[in-house]
Amino acid sequence: TDAISGVVQLISKTPEKTSAFVTGEIGENKTYKSVIGADLAENGVYAQIRGQRLETDGTPVKDVKNAAAASFDQKGYSAKIGVEKEQYAASVDYSENQGSSDYDNFGKLVSQDFKNEIINVKGRLNILENLALHARFSQFKDEIEQNNSTDFVHSKTQESEIYGQWGFMPNQQFLVGVTHRNIDGDVLSYGSPYQEDIDSTGYYIQHKYDQAGLNTQVGVRVEDNEKFGTHTVAQGSVRYQVLPLTSVYANIGSAFKAPTLNDMYAYGGNPDLKPEESLSYEIGLDQKLAYNISTGLSLYTTEVDNLIDFDGVLNQMRNLEKAKMEGSELYVKWQGENLFTNLSYNYVRAKDKKNDEDLSRRPRQNIALTAGWTDEQYTFSTTMLANGDYDNSAFDNAQIPGHFRVDMHGQYKVNKNVDIFANIQNVGDSKYRTAYGSGSYYINGGRLASAGVTFRY
């Protein structure tokens, strides 16, 4: 997926059969959603089209008396056409979304219009039985216009990639490629104009090995960024099947992240930001138990130089000289014939190494439990989620309390052509606090119940 302007663009699955559907959904707060689509697939040639619309009156975003609701509306469409054969493949897809959203700006509700566009052109050619060449061209356009000022952000990213995959042995594979990216930005922020045009080229090589319960992957990438210089990153991972039901793994990797246009020029932007550089380690274990139970545990550490974070005092993005994230993840899953359950626990402490203080607005703990039933006709699930408290120290001395919420989903398959479904987000209607700013708390909007129907052909 690619998320821009608060809109999640779904990269759709390649159609495998000819079909069509239409979905309608209605919910609280005058929330309406509709999706329509059609697929065509025959002899390796396929086409797909989608259209969607979402609108809601929304809910208040601040915990103040008579706060206005923040509305949102969006509409968009997408199309894809391609061919998938054993020796070659090619596809072109296009999507566009536009709409408007309200947000709080120092206690005042303001709005912005957005429009984004994605184009992808991809191809594959199998030169030999064990050698394939892949190529891709992508373009991402994102435009944001402020309705309460003259400010705007217009950005266009173009990316070209070509890589080859060589399976030189049945259990080993090499991947070699190059990616070129150009980011072009035209920004008016608080009346100050900015223009940026950045080229970046990445060269990478990767080796994979898979045999007799041992899986390894090693890769190196050199990124030559016009604005931020040349950086070399690498990663390595290994997983070993110690016993038929037990596997252990370890990962190590370095990373480089250049500041985005929003980091440099949007609200609170800082054109003098440095790129982030990080080094991560992880070890873990996955274990299958009796009665269809599986469990796993992982421990990880990430060290970051020049972490890009927001300074609430200066109201500006900044670089933290050194930051560290240490955490662990634990899960337990059970799958019966129809019943299922999944329990997960996550702990991570993100801190500024200079003063050993927690980074702002990052809860240390969360735990989630999902349980449900699924068969050929019915699906039902309930998820309970609890988050720990966290501070607001980058902005003030307020403490953000933890919260608990319950989400529910149900679906009934009337027949092969009709599905009826219902969702309840935040069953308890808990308007829990999420942050503090401008003298009041930001809050969750509370319960959102909705129901809908899908017709398929």
Mean pLDDT in residue range 93-114: 94
Quote the strand ranges of 212-315, DSSP E: 214-225, 229-243, 246-257, 276-288, 293-311
- Torsion sign (Cα): 440, 442, 448, 454: positive
pLDDT digits 0-9 by tens, 167-198:
999 999 999 999 999 999 999 988 889 899 99
Stated length of the chain: 457
Task: Output the pLDDT for position 174.
Answer: 96
pLDDT digits 0-9 by tens, 253-286:
999 999 988 889 887 889 999 999 999 999 999 9
Q: Report how many helices (DSSP H) and strands (DSSP E) the chain contains, helices first.
A: 1, 29
Beta bridge partners of 367: 345, 386
Integer-rounded Cα radius of gyration of the chain? 24
Mean pLDDT in residue range 207-212: 95
Mean pLDDT, the chain, whole residue set: 93
Task: Please provide the DSSP assignment of 20-46 as one string.
Answer: EEEEEEEETTTEEEEEEEEEEEETTEE
Alpha-carbon distance 259 to 200, whole Å?
13
Q: Which of 457, 455, 450, 456 is nearest to 54 (CA)?
A: 450
pLDDT digits 0-9 by tens, 288-330:
999 999 999 999 999 999 999 988 778 899 999 999 999 999 9
pLDDT digits 0-9 by tens, 149-159:
999 999 999 99
Task: Output the pLDDT for position 107.
Answer: 82
Mean pLDDT in residue range 240-256: 97
Alpha-carbon distance 380 to 108, whole Å?
40
Mean pLDDT in residue range 53-66: 94
pLDDT tier at 2, thresholds 50, 70, 90: very low
pLDDT digits 0-9 by tens, 329-356:
999 999 999 999 999 999 999 999 999 9
Domains and their CATH numbers in the chain: 2-456 (2.40.170.20)
DSSP state of 173: E
pLDDT tier at 12, thresholds 50, 70, 90: low
Q: In this structure, how many other beta carbons lie within 10 angstroms of the beta carbon of residue 2?
A: 15
Q: Which of 326, 333, 396 is nearest to 356 (CA)?
A: 326
74 contacts 98 by C-beta, under 8 angstroms: yes
Mean pLDDT in residue range 436-452: 91
CA–CA–CA angle 392, 396, 397 (5° rounding): 75
Bigger pLDDT: 215 or 260?
A: 215
The tokens 């619309």 sit on which residue?
Answer: 53
Share of the chain above pLDDT 90, in %: 82
Q: Which amino acid is at 424?
A: I
pLDDT tier at 1, thresholds 50, 70, 90: very low
